[in-house]
Amino acid sequence: MAGIRLPPEESEVSQQQQSRAAGDLVSDDERSVAADSWSIKSDYGSTLDDDQRHADAAEALSSANFRASSDYNSDKEEPDAEGVSSMLGHQSYWDSAYADELANFREHGHAGEVWFGADVMDVVASWTKSLCIDISQGHFPNHVDDNKSEPVEDSNKYLSHWTVLDIGTGNGLLLQELAKQGFSDLTGVDYSEGAINLAQNLANRDGFSNIKFLVDDVLETKLERQFQLVMDKGTLDAIGLHPDGPLKRIMYWNSVSKLVAPGGLLVITSCNNTKDELMQEVLNLNQRRIDVHQEPVTSKDHEESRDLPFRYLNHVRTYPTFMFGGAEGSRVATVAFIRN
């Protein structure tokens, strides 16, 4: 959110949660609570403390279990603990948020929020560049150094053929970072027209008018082409926060499997899924494809011979980690899958 709002008292938040009805319409006050609970800001026009936002985001998102839509009942006596977070799964929330950010850009020139922070965005862009160069050179690495990859002479020649799609592009700043890394064929899509207007304005202002932006819903995409590199930074997270999150996540995977060209990459950055959880989603997608053919898998070789959409390739290893319950984890995960 671009505007600055004072946080409501706890009693006010409770009253807002109790009075919220199921549906897509949410109030500005509710959007403020949801944004303050979930988003991780950067210094792009933000006046709130980054460390506190990381803590708030971890707390808010840790409670999201992606329950079935039947579990969300506005007649419950107790307020739904996941109600605030689930608003971020509705398009109405993002339309309002980007309307605010677009107005803030026009008035103050602010670019808006960088989801997960500028540092994470820089890591994602540079790590993805290194991964794509390695693949272009015929290497399929088990590890890519996140920060200290050796410079490659004339690296742009390796990146020029990579067609890039950023789904849920928001303000489009990730695409700008990828352009700085040497990618040139860049497209960003978002189902919020306000986001696309903001992204286009920012790209034109910052000298990246070659980046294409389109209004498109990844769950019902109208795109008729495939891309060598598909980026997702927070979109799967938001989709999972919809009351129908489990169904919409299946729609997501079915859609992106059509958007990634054979041999291409899907790079997902998430603060609501671990690496292992994202890998499990890919295994679930592959299993659904097997079930459609109604042929049991009898051996590893037989399974690998099938036309399964994705397999794990690599992940970022340098994000800060913490220990919880005896297990080590990170607030952000970036994982690359290759399209078979």
* Per-residue model confidence as pLDDT tens digits over 82-111: 554 578 899 999 999 999 999 999 999 999
Q: What integer pLDDT is reported at residue 11 of this predicted model?
A: 43
Query: CA distances (Å), 233 to each of 104, 173, 271, in order?
Result: 23, 11, 9
For 19, what's the count of Cα atoms within 13 Å in the CB-facing half-sphere?
Answer: 10
| Contact status, residue 77 vs residue 168, Cβ threshold 8 Å | no
pLDDT digits (tens, 9 = 90+) for 119-150: 999 999 999 999 999 999 988 765 555 544 55
Per-residue pLDDT in tens (0 to 9) along the chain, 340 residues: 333 333 344 444 444 444 444 444 444 444 443 444 343 333 333 333 444 434 444 443 443 333 333 333 334 344 344 554 578 899 999 999 999 999 999 999 999 888 899 999 999 999 999 999 999 998 876 555 554 455 566 677 889 899 999 999 999 999 999 999 999 999 999 999 999 999 999 999 999 999 999 999 999 999 999 999 999 999 999 999 999 999 999 999 999 999 999 999 999 999 999 999 999 999 999 998 888 766 554 544 444 445 689 999 999 998 987 777 777 777 899 999 999 8
Q: Which domains does the chain have, with CATH numbers?
A: 25-108 (no CATH), 118-339 (3.40.50.150)
Q: Give SS3 for 53.
A: helix
- The overall pTM is greater than 0.85: no
N- to C-terminal Cα distance for the chain? 38
Look at residues 162, 227, 132 and name the one whose alpha carbon lies nearest to residue 189. 227
